[in-house]
Amino acid sequence: MTRPSYGRAFALWRDASPKWPAYVGHPFVEGIRTGDLLREKFLHYLRQDYVFLIHYSRAWALAAVKADTLAEMRAASAAVHALIHHEMPLHVEICAREGIDPEQLEATMEASANLAYTRYVLEAGYSGDFLDLMAALAPCALGYGEIGARLNGSGGPYADWIETYGGEEYQSLCRDVGALIDGALEHRMGRDWAGQPRFEALSGRFATATRLEVGFWQMGLETEE
Amino acid sequence: MTRPSYGRAFALWRDASPKWPAYVGHPFVEGIRTGDLLREKFLHYLRQDYVFLIHYSRAWALAAVKADTLAEMRAASAAVHALIHHEMPLHVEICAREGIDPEQLEATMEASANLAYTRYVLEAGYSGDFLDLMAALAPCALGYGEIGARLNGSGGPYADWIETYGGEEYQSLCRDVGALIDGALEHRMGRDWAGQPRFEALSGRFATATRLEVGFWQMGLETEE
Amino acid sequence: MTRPSYGRAFALWRDASPKWPAYVGHPFVEGIRTGDLLREKFLHYLRQDYVFLIHYSRAWALAAVKADTLAEMRAASAAVHALIHHEMPLHVEICAREGIDPEQLEATMEASANLAYTRYVLEAGYSGDFLDLMAALAPCALGYGEIGARLNGSGGPYADWIETYGGEEYQSLCRDVGALIDGALEHRMGRDWAGQPRFEALSGRFATATRLEVGFWQMGLETEE
Amino acid sequence: MTRPSYGRAFALWRDASPKWPAYVGHPFVEGIRTGDLLREKFLHYLRQDYVFLIHYSRAWALAAVKADTLAEMRAASAAVHALIHHEMPLHVEICAREGIDPEQLEATMEASANLAYTRYVLEAGYSGDFLDLMAALAPCALGYGEIGARLNGSGGPYADWIETYGGEEYQSLCRDVGALIDGALEHRMGRDWAGQPRFEALSGRFATATRLEVGFWQMGLETEE
């Protein structure tokens, strides 16, 4: 099994997160890999993912507000810009190809599982600091990287989606995010960050966010909210 | 059917919230009324409600930060104080009587539906202003009042719980919260607040929070997370 | 006297802000216009302005978090990107030409008047909503536009600085920011936003921020903190 | 010279804060001690201090939102309650005795130096975590304790003010706040918190807040804003 390397904190967080296998190996993900996922489920997911992207972009904007160094600001600002000015229009385009027009997309009612994850991330960021935000964002940012790396080359009806996250561009971005996180930990806590109580609390953030990501895939399998 | 009067905004929000009947008349609530709710489900709910109270108190503390007037500050501060120094110790006591000791309470893993509602409220408060926070808090604060008023006098094994929310003390508090909300709207938007786009957005906040409250009761019926 | 037009809200806010003339016509500004400002004062200002830009960028990132519409998000995100990836490197370059190397810039101790303005803006944004943030940011964003428009063509030793803010690119940006603000007001408050109590509160935000901008220029004249 | 003991972090922060002596030994403080401070200056300060108390209470409410443990929540909530329901009414009463009626108090225009300190504290709390907030609040909470302890027994026209901060009740509160801070550091960073980069950053917060407190006393000496 491919376990991509996105830095030290991610490796530790993943190992301390009981639901990680249930997230990256969720039946929804398996359905994408084998191609057995019903198109209708995938479109439901795409619509929710569009709403997700809005709040995910806001979370990265909050990271720019909460950054301690210029390097952190630049990384967060570049992420926001890429999300809002590239990934979101791309998403609109993909949805349009699937017959979902922009008005329908805009009218999507945000599912509870979607609300749960994004608001958890944003609240973690508001109530905590840059590290809390990173720990809550990481299951999404890096989990999609791990899923993409695992599914890469599977082909089938969802090959485009797989290529988006399994391709070198996204994999490289994941390594950058991993390095940003490791750097942020060291900047604030010194080289021995892994043994501190704070790091344990961050692992808890990551584990909770992972649980909510499982709920997101699960929501993808249920057409009704 | 008893529909208590907690002010003008609440009445409008309730009518504009499609899931309101599903919330205040949820099978969990019916089980409390008839006494048919399994004790085990009720204890599961009590444990989650303890975790809920922590974040609910934080939300009222955020209301004190976001207040515009001294009257708003005082009301929010009094709510925080009552929650942390009275309601939470009372909750610990009730749980102890039911055989759940404080250590077990502290160790409760926050259910996803619990996370979803409280983080939605806190994020609404952080990202928006005092009104956004009130609109997101109201389904809990005033919905429990409406449920209490409706169930009042039902007796049965959950008579204590019913009395807590149906009794005059909580009902009076609900009228105060309703007046706080109406006053806050008028203070910021003038007397014609009901017709403004802002009020419609607040109705949306209330409706979303109501949906998440339905999820909270639903979680109460499912022992497993 | 040139009074540029950056929309309706700005015109109303400016008129309701007693210190506006003291801000846009401050002796520091006059010194830039006539060229009589001591180089040493200007360099002191440039160093402080570099620190200012960091927090100003954070404020625009917070605007992206607090946006209600995609258009607001896009505008805020574009502002952050331009500030962090273009204006800040440009500032570093300008300072370098003046003999201030990046290490010195980084080591600048943030003056109290600088802290006062930027933290006022950020706190307004955190405690309030998108509109509070815009009202607190506007004296800087649009005031520099008004100053630039007024000084345009003055030439002298500070002609580059004048051209930056008086040139068409910045003037066009100011018109966009003005339109963003007017649009945000109408989106939330309907067409009659100017008569609402909320708008009066926003005028107060703008007036306070203007007072703090006067303090910023004043700080520019005092080499010692 | 009396240097009261309010815990380990405070002692370290005080020593690392170059402006600490200028703050606790400011001419305004000396004027209170000797009784030579003009009444008019003192009344100007009292009016500003009333506005200060509002934002200081909001900062403690934010501490309740940002608390990690129930003990932290309880301490912050008790502080908010004491400030809003006891200290603020007391302040109104003191001002009334001095001939400043509540309407005048409410109408006080917040001085720039006042804005600077409170918004710095609130922004530190919003952008950072509980520790950032404590480090920014400490110069006020504990500095007033140190000043009170030093001036205790001086008598003179300002004996009441001196007794408020020099008396056992406030001194005991300062020891509690100091213990809260030391506990919060250990809870998040383990026993070796003093050597971590994070602690150095917090020392920076404390030092900046101290600088702004010097500005607050200075403002007290200048009747004009």
pLDDT tens readout for residues A193-221: 999 999 999 999 999 999 999 999 999 99
Over residues B105-149, the pLDDT tens digits come to 989 999 999 999 999 999 999 999 999 999 999 999 999 999 999
pLDDT digits (tens, 9 = 90+) for A23-40: 999 999 999 999 999 999
Chain A 86-115, residues with CB within 8 Å of chain D CB atoms = none
Q: Which residues of C touch B188 (CB under 8 A)?
A: 196-198, 201
Q: Is A108 left (phi over 0), alpha (psi -120 to 50) or beta?
A: beta
Give me the catalytic one of A72, A95, A140, A174.
A140
Work out the burial of residue B1: count CB atoms within 10 Å of its CB; fewer than 13 is exposed, 13-18 middle, 19 or more buried.
exposed
Please name the residues in contact with C6: beta carbons below 8 A apart, sequence gap of 6 or more: C142, C145, C146, C174, C175, C177, C178
Q: Which two tokens stand for residue C30?
A: 């006059």
A225 by DSSP, 3-state: which?
coil
Looking at the complex, report in whole angstroms how far the Cα of residue B114 sits from the nearest Cα belonging to chain A. Answer: 9
List the subunits that have 3+ CB pairs under 8 angstroms with C: A, B, D
Q: Which chains touch A (3 or more CB pairs under 8 A)?
A: B, C, D
| B35 Rama sector, left if φ>0, alpha if ψ -120 to 50, beta otherwise | left
Cα–Cα distance measured from residue D72 to residue D63, given in angstroms and rounded to the nearest whole number: 8
Alpha carbon distance A213, A211 (integer Å):
5
Distances, alpha carbon C94 to alpha carbons A70, A71, A202, C89, C217, in Å: 18, 20, 41, 9, 19
Average pLDDT, chain B: 95
- From C50's Cα to the closest Cα of chain A, the distance in A is 12
Residue A148 identity (one-letter amino acid): G
Which tokens in the block code for residue D5? 């003991």
Averaged pLDDT, A51-62: 98
Residues 6 or more apart from A224 whose CB is under 8 A from it?
none
Query: Under the phi-then-psi rule, with left for phi > 0, alpha for psi from -120 to 50, and beta for the rest, what region is A35?
Result: left
Q: With contacts defined as CB-CB under 8 Å, which chain A residues touch D201?
A: 68, 188
| Average pLDDT of chain D, as a whole number | 95
Q: Is the CB of residue C126 less than 8 Å away from at least one CB of chain D? A: yes
pLDDT of D41 strictly over 90 = yes
The rounded distance, in Å, linking the Cα atoms of D55 and D49 is 10
**What pLDDT was estimated at residue B124?**
98
Statement: residue A91 has pLDDT above 50: yes
Residues above pLDDT 70, as percent of chain D: 98
Indicate if the pLDDT at residue B224 is higher than 60.
Answer: no
At residue D138 the predicted structure's pLDDT band, cuts being 50, 70 and 90, is very high
Name the residue with tokens 């962090």.
Answer: C84
Average pLDDT rounded to a whole number, residues C132-144: 98
As a whole number, the mean pLDDT across chain A is: 95
**What is the rounded average pLDDT for all residues in chain C?**
95
Q: Do C64 and A81 count as a contact with CB atoms less than 8 A apart?
A: no
Report pLDDT digits (tens) over B157-214.
Answer: 999 999 999 999 999 999 999 999 999 999 999 999 999 999 999 999 999 999 999 9
Neighbours of C170 (CB within 10 A): 16
Please report the pLDDT score of residue D3 as a whole number.
84
Question: Is C64 near chain A, with CB under 8 Å?
Answer: yes
Is residue A107 over pLDDT 50?
yes
What residues of chain A lie within 8 A of the CB of C81, using their CB? 77-78, 80-81
Q: What's the confidence (pLDDT) of residue B163? A: 95
What digits encode the pLDDT tens for the residues B33-47?
999 999 999 999 999
Residues of D classed as catalytic: 140, 213
Q: d(Cα A131, Cα A181) in Å, to the nearest integer? A: 8
Distance of alpha carbon A8 from the chain centroid: 18
Chain A CB contacts of B116 below 8 Å: 112-113, 115-116, 119-120
The whole-number average pLDDT for the span C162-173 is: 96
Residue-level pLDDT at C3: 84
Give percent helix, percent strand, percent coil of chain A, each to the nearest 5: 80, 0, 20
Q: In chain A, what residues touch C85 (CB-CB under 8 Å)? A: 74, 77-78
Q: Is the pLDDT of residue B2 over 80?
A: no
Three-point CA angle B110, A116, B135, nearest 5°: 100
* HEC per residue, chain B: CCCCCCCHHHHHHHHCCCCHHHHHCCHHHHHHHHCCCCHHHHHHHHHHHHHHHHHHHHHHHHHHHHCCCHHHHHHHHHHHHHHHHHHHHHHHHHHHHCCCCHHHHHCCCCCHHHHHHHHHHHHHHHHCCHHHHHHHHHHHHHHHHHHHHHHCCCCCCCHHHHHHHHCHHHHHHHHHHHHHHHHHHHHHHCCCHHHCHHHHHHHHHHHHHHHHHHHHHHHHHCCCC
Q: Would you tell me how many other CB atoms lie within 10 Å of the CB of residue B29? A: 19
Burial class of B222 by CB neighbour count within 10 A (0 to 12, 13 to 18, 19+): exposed
The single residue listed with the structure tokens 């536009």 is C145
By CA distance, what is C73's nearest residue in A?
Answer: A84
Q: Provide the pLDDT confidence category of residue D224 given band limits of 50, 70 and 90.
A: low
Chosen for mutation from D23, D57, D115 (greatest number of chain C CBs closer than 10 Å) is D115
**Cβ–Cβ contact C29 with A under 8 A:** no
- Please tell me which residue of chain C has the smallest CA distance to A126: C126
Tens of pLDDT, residue by residue over A172-185, are 999 999 999 999 99
Q: How many CB atoms lie within 10 A of CB B44?
A: 20
pLDDT of residue C225: 45
Do residues D171 and D35 make contact, with C-beta atoms less than 8 angstroms apart?
no
Helix residue spans in chain C (DSSP H): 8-15, 20-24, 27-34, 39-66, 70-82, 88-97, 102-106, 112-127, 130-151, 159-166, 168-189, 197-221
DSSP tally for chain D: helices H, then strands E:
12, 0
For chain D, how are helix, strand and coil distributed in percent, rounded to 5? 80, 0, 20
Is it the case that residue A50 has pLDDT exceeding 70? yes
Catalytic residue check, B213: yes
CA distance B46 to B111: 12
Mean pLDDT of C61-73: 97
User: So what's the pLDDT on residue C1?
Assistant: 55
Q: How far is A65 from chain C (nearest CA, A)?
A: 5
Q: Which of D68, D43, D62 has the alpha carbon at shortest distance from D118? A: D62
Cβ-defined contact of C66 to B197 (cutoff 8 Å): no
Token reading at C153:
């063509």
User: How do residues C17-51 score in pLDDT, each as one tens digit?
Assistant: 999 999 999 999 999 999 999 999 999 999 999 99
Q: Which has the higher per-residue pLDDT, C30 or B3?
A: C30
How far does B6 lie from chain A, in Å, by closest CA? Answer: 27
- Among candidate residues B72, B95, B146, B213, the one labeled active-site is B213
Distance CA D108, CA D47 (A): 7
| Stretch A127-139: mean pLDDT | 98
Nearest Cα residue to D76 out of D58, D54, D103 = D58
pLDDT value of position D223: 64
